[in-house]
Amino acid sequence: MKTINIADKHKLFDEAWTPKIVGDLNGSQVKLAKFRGEFAWHAHENEDEFFLVTKGTMRMRLRDGDQIVGSGEFIIVPRGVEHCPVAESDEVHVMMVEPASTVNTGDLDDARTLTDLERI
């Protein structure tokens, strides 16, 4: 049980769209990721997703209108809702909280689908 510095953990990796696990709570995981460019439209059937931006600005594309999420802001995407995260700045640092069962690309089988996340 140690204090985790989010910015220090973000320095430990460079790849975009590859969430790293940094904590566990109540069957969910805390994950850190870097976003660059645009991801892919997808939804998670059974998982609500929490995204907190800690650096840069993210655009969350949604079918009923985009949301802009800056540093110190968060958005919760409920289960079943199609979304597509986009880096509005060159690079965005994100902290996510979501059930351990969550696959990054949800219902989409994509080249970026990850099934075994690294812990840092």
Q: Which residues bind a second copy (CB under 8 A)?
A: 1-7, 23-28, 30, 47-50, 52, 54, 60, 62, 67-70, 72-78, 81, 97-99
Between 80 and 112, CB nearer to a second copy: 80
Q: From the CB of 111, what's the least distance to a second copy, in Å?
A: 27
Q: What is the DSSP letter of 80?
A: T
Give the Å distances, CA to CA, from 67 to 2, 14, 45, 91: 33, 25, 21, 17
Q: From the CB of 19, what's the least distance to a second copy, in Å?
A: 16
Between 46 and 112, CB nearer to a second copy: 46
Confirm if 50 and 36 have CB atoms less than 8 A apart.
no
Distance CA 12, CA 76 (A): 26
